[in-house]
Structure 1
């Protein structure tokens, strides 16, 4: 029945500023009205709604103000360079001090984080195939650490 996510929404302070930011990410404009704009993440499949209003003052929590965009593994490895090329700074996740992308073997995914102009948490994320021997690892691993473990299994 379910085939994927169609839409997600984020609160923003200034719709014009936010529209420019999300266009910089490569999202394609779909439509807008007075206080709302929608951007295609994948045209005809999923979009992001930006809502200008007081809700932007809601304190950040990942259940309320967070969106993860799917990317490839190779793109995630290059994500810091890409973000820098569009003048966006990556931010550390949680209590981490590094902004580098990392692997979560026990979840089978990898991520890097950054914020939009309103402090909404954005994530570039990909699926990672994890060999059974490594699925127990709950630590967050750098790409170098991850690829070294994979080489050791060969």
Structure 2
């Protein structure tokens, strides 16, 4: 199962302060906008998402169909195929969004309650 690009999504209280902090660690803005309350920051192949007021807690995030630089990967495992495999394995799926093709997402949790978002953008 190919899950695509990996990042950690962080719920932050002050996007500007978080941006400044992560820039001091060598990250640069890679995507998103402060006007929309989120930024994707990159340092080498390492990605983090900073999200103000969009969700609580932290999440591991996978983006099927993308590499670490948001380049398209072909072929790729569609999010619906990944979801079906996980359901067959007995994993509980929550917060499903999307249709029969194109962008879609779902959330799962590991045995310790760590939240994992599988979010396909294409």
Which bin holds the TM-score, normalised by the shorter protein?
Answer: 0.3 to 0.5
TM-score calculated relative to the size of structure 1: 0.31
**Normalized per residue, which structure has more helix?**
1
Return the index of the structure with the highest Cα Rg: 1
**Normalized per residue, which structure has more strand?**
2
